[in-house]
Amino acid sequence: MVPPGNGNGAAAGAANDVILELSPPGDDWSHEQCDDVEANGGGNGDAPPRRTFSFGQAYKTRHRQPQVFTVWQTLMLGYQSLGIVYGDLGTSPLYVFPSVVLPDADATDFLGILSLIIWTLTLMSLVKYALIVLKADDHGEGGTFALYSLLRQHVNFKGNIPVPLTRLESDVHLKFHSKRRSRPSRLQLFLENSPKAQLAITIIVLVGTCMLIGDGALTPAISVLSAVQGIQSRSSHIKQKHVVVLSAVILVLLFPVQRFGTSRVSFTFSPIMLLWFASIAGIGVYNIVMHYPPVLKAVSPHYIYYYFAKNKRVGWEQLGAVAFSTAVFPSLILAYSGQAAYLIKNPGDLSTAFYSSVPALLFWPMFVVSTLAAIVASQSLISASYSIIRQSIALGCFPRTTVKHTSDKYEGQVYCPEINYVLMVVCVLITVGFQGGPEIGRAFGVAVIWVMLLTTMLMTVVMVVIWEVNGALAGGFFVFYLAIEGTYMTSLMTKVPQGGWVPFAITGAFLSVTLSWTYGRKKKREYEARHAVGDGEFAGIVSRCARVPGMCFFCTDLMDGVPPIVRHYAANTGSLRELLLFVTFRTLPVRTVLAGERFLVAREGARAGVYRCIAQYGYMDEQDMVGDDFVRAAVAALVEVAAEADDSGEEEAEMIGRAPASGVSYVLGRTVLRMRRRARNWPKRFVINELYRFLQKNFRSNVSTLKLDHAKTLQVGMIYEI
């Protein structure tokens, strides 16, 4: 057998350990499962093939096949994306032109701004994101963490970085990992040999992720406020405080809707966005025809030059108003062109450009549609925040929160109740705190442009390392977009004192949680690695303890070695069940795990009655240990392994078969990490003793997702003194 891979320096098991895949007794294979087996060489109606692995190979996952959608499914997903993906982007006409402050603006100014918008939409939205970034998905997942996950599959990250490393030596052979080139690029070699470069990439990912979460709190505020402020353009009796109160009420009602799930929310709201895009396109055409038909000449970029030549520094400062205008291309081009055409004839209406350009007869219908569209716009970044949190938890970068999967058809549609209400509170505080002022728009622009910049940096690395793009071409991509986004960024950074500090504050708060959690988990792993129970010591513990009839499932996060809490448990109880099974639960990045892949078991050395098991689940599988099915499945696997182990296998198998009848118990470990007071580094002591401990107490535990029979469950606590 092949020696096991080693992720943390601890022994993974003996080289002759036998690993067995188990199908639970009586479990029928569905048509989908049979098709999957046939595709992997087990067809012709045969039962799923049993295979043996070394323990290190037990961490293999089935190769993810790309999802294939029918034409109807593709149309439905595209239809849903109108509400959940393009919502926030599509409502940008509500606030882009009104965010511009240009005294005595004339046709040259409006044509220049329109030209900036058109080329920003084209280069950053259409070319960069739609045609390039969206292709860098990690099995359907997108965003900064998806890019990071792709890089981790190709680059051997190592060293002292915040994100916990779980890479095994055998990972390079996994089908789940993307195919690596035979000759790594210079950039890949540099990254693998530079801990500082790996740390820099990790920090970029963490900052970008936290910035996007901040964007999730700012988008609802600016979208709803911009829609509600339309009332003021038609009634002088409506005060700003009334707008703020109404916006806050809408926001409070908005967030509870998220629990119904991305699919239902987006399908319900997509008709609104469809009506919205049709309306702004129609009104745009109307304004172009009625006010200034030649307005589309702004497609020529020389108007951008005229704009900056005339306005100089003032024009540069207004770039922040354009930085967050990207969306569904044709409708937005017409909408912005119509507003520009209207403003050329009515420059005094710049601060209320959207509603002033709406024909009088259509004002109230458009007010209703725009308010509903703004509500929909808020959904996209809120939903994105859930996905980011889910990815962060999976990579060990964030404390465990409740993650509910709201669709059994499409992956990635999740809902996090705790994050939902945290965002709601932050969003309402921002709205009320700034009283609906321009500071919210500035904060929003800062968040968006920083996410764009960080995405450009990560995409450049992905292009070279994974896509094998020519270095000169990838460098050109980086320089080109760095120049564009850097220019926008320098303009927006002047607005930091006037509201631009908000996304940095939100990022700082989430980053402190992330870094505190990852640092605490790192110290916990280091402690367990140093104090792991060795083979000789564990043999002594087993020999000294009384062997009580029955079966015990000892749940642990440690996939390699025996955790030190076992020493603590044995010392305080003085007994062990005659059948002891260490169980590690793994959630794989697949919707469900086939029955034949659910359980992987191995004998723990040569000790009688001691085994190790990995229980694998997909993200939609229920981790249910209540009832007899789980026990029967585990026992069946253990009996087969025991029978093949040695000459005493038959006797061992008989013991395993009768053990559950004498009682089954579940032991869970709960560790408390504490740094000694004599430790000189008080910042680290504060992080461990205060921040990390707070997160441990107030977030979900590692076994919180299990369904357990609590009458048979024992939780054992232990303090880790570091």
Q: Are residues 565 and 489 in the same domain?
A: no
φ, ψ at 606 (rounded to 5°)? -105, 10
Same domain, 491 and 539: no
Which of the two residues, 119 and 599, has the higher pLDDT score? 119
Q: Are residues 345 and 458 in the same domain?
A: yes
Q: Are residues 485 and 552 in the same domain?
A: no
Is 705 within the bounds of a domain?
A: yes
Which is more confidently placed, 658 or 37?
658
User: How many Cβ atoms sit within 10 Å of the Cβ of residue 181?
Assistant: 11
pLDDT band at 59 (very low <50, low <70, confident <90, very high): very low
177/482: higher pLDDT: 482
In a domain, 144, yes or no: yes
Domain count, the chain: 2
Are residues 575 and 432 part of one domain? no
pLDDT bucket at 194, cuts 50 / 70 / 90: confident
Task: State residue 543's pLDDT score.
Answer: 84
**Whether pLDDT at 35 is above 60:** no
- Torsion, Cα 335 337 342 346, to 10 degrees, reads 120
Q: Which of 445, 402, 458 is nearest to 142 (CA)?
A: 458
CB 665 within 8 A of CB 553: yes
Q: Does residue 264 contact residue 80 with C-beta atoms inside 8 Å?
A: no
> Which has more confidence, 647 or 669?
669
pLDDT of residue 663: 87
pLDDT of 322 higher than 50: yes
389-401 burial, b at 16+ Cβ within 10 Å, e below that, comes to bbbbbbbbbbbbb
Please state the rounded mean pLDDT for residues 361-376: 84
Say which residue the tokens 């500035």 belong to: 442
Q: Which of 39-48, 287-296, 530-539 has the lowest mean pLDDT?
A: 39-48
Is 70 exceeded by the pLDDT of residue 400? yes
Instruction: For residue 80, tell me if it sits in a domain.
Output: no
Q: Can you tell me the mean pLDDT for 75-95?
A: 69
For residue 403, give its domain range: 86-468+476-501
- Residue 397 CA from chain centroid, whole number: 10
pLDDT at 477 over 90: yes
Q: What is the pLDDT of residue 482?
A: 92
Whether the Cβ atoms of residue 694 and residue 648 lie closer than 8 Å to each other? no
Q: Which of 257, 265, 209 is nearest to 393 (CA)?
A: 209
Of residues 675 and 646, the one with the higher pLDDT is: 675
What pLDDT, on a 0 to 100 scale, did the predictor assign at position 285?
A: 92
Higher pLDDT, 61 or 320: 320
Q: Which residue has the higher pLDDT, 406 or 520?
A: 520
Q: 333 with 451, same domain?
A: yes
Q: Percent of the chain, pLDDT > 70?
A: 74
Higher pLDDT, 137 or 4: 137
E strands, 30-183, where?
A: 52-53
As a whole number, mean pLDDT of residues 645-671 equals 80
| Tokens describing residue 620 | 């939609």
Rounded mean pLDDT, 273-284: 86
Whether residues 555 and 451 fall in one domain? no
In whole angstroms, what is the distance from residue 553 CA to residue 539 CA?
18
516 falls within a domain: no
Q: Does the structure show a pLDDT above 90 at 262? A: no
- Same domain for 488 and 536? no
Across 188-192, 266-270, 308-312, 414-418, least confident range: 266-270
**pLDDT at residue 479 tops 90:** yes
Write down the pLDDT at residue 480.
93
Residue 310's pLDDT is what? 83
Task: Assess whether pLDDT exceeds 50 at residue 39.
Answer: no
Q: Give the closest residue to 327 by CA, choosing from 363, 364, 280.
A: 280
Q: What is the CATH number of the domain that holds 375?
A: 1.20.1740
Q: Is 228 in a helix, a strand, or coil?
A: helix
Task: State the DSSP code for 412.
Answer: T
pLDDT at position 646 is 61
Q: Which of 87-91, 296-300, 544-548 has the lowest mean pLDDT?
A: 87-91
Residues 201 and 279 in one domain: yes
- Mean pLDDT for 671-699 is 81
Q: Which residue has the higher pLDDT, 691 or 89?
A: 691
**Average pLDDT for residues 425-443, to the nearest whole number?**
84
Which three-class secondary structure state does DSSP give residue 712?
A: helix
Q: Any idea of the CA torsion for 263, 267, 272, 273, to the nearest 10 degrees?
A: 60
Q: With bands split at pLDDT 50, 70 and 90, how would you rate the model's confidence at 481?
A: very high
Indicate whether 46 pLDDT > 60.
Answer: no
pLDDT of residue 442: 82
More confident residue, 448 or 238: 448
The verdict on residue 18 lying in a domain is no
Residues 260 and 209 in one domain: yes
**Does the pLDDT value for residue 331 go beyond 70?**
yes
Domain match, 536 and 463 both:
no
Establish if 31 belongs to a structural domain.
Answer: no
Confidence band for 63, pLDDT divided at 50, 70 and 90: very low
Look at residue 321 and tell me if it is in a domain.
yes
In whole angstroms, how far apart are CA 177 and each of 1, 19, 201, 492? 22, 22, 20, 39
Out of 484, 501, 518, a domain closes at 501
Tell me the pLDDT tens digit for each residue of 281-303.
Answer: 899 999 999 988 898 898 898 88
- Mean of pLDDT over the chain: 75
pLDDT at 65 over 70: no
pLDDT higher than 60, residue 4: no
pLDDT band at 159 (very low <50, low <70, confident <90, very high): low
Q: Please say whether the beta carbons of 568 and 718 come within 8 A.
A: yes
Q: Read off the pLDDT of each residue in 194-217 and give the average, rounded to a whole number.
A: 86
Least confident of 50-59, 263-272, 537-546: 50-59
pLDDT category at 229 given cuts 50, 70, 90 is confident
pLDDT, greater one: 42 or 655: 655
> What was the pLDDT predicted at 183?
73
The verdict on 483 and 541 lying in the same domain is: no
Task: Decide: helix, strand or coil at residue 169.
Answer: helix
Residue 78 lies inside a defined structural domain of this protein: no
What pLDDT does residue 410 have?
Answer: 54
Report d(CA 271, CA 23) in Å as an integer: 46
Cα–Cα dist 223/97, whole Å: 14
Mean pLDDT of 119-147: 79
Q: How confident is the model at residue 38 (pLDDT cuts 50, 70, 90)?
A: very low
- What's the start-to-end Cα distance of the chain, in Å? 38
Residue 592 in this model has a pLDDT that exceeds 80: no
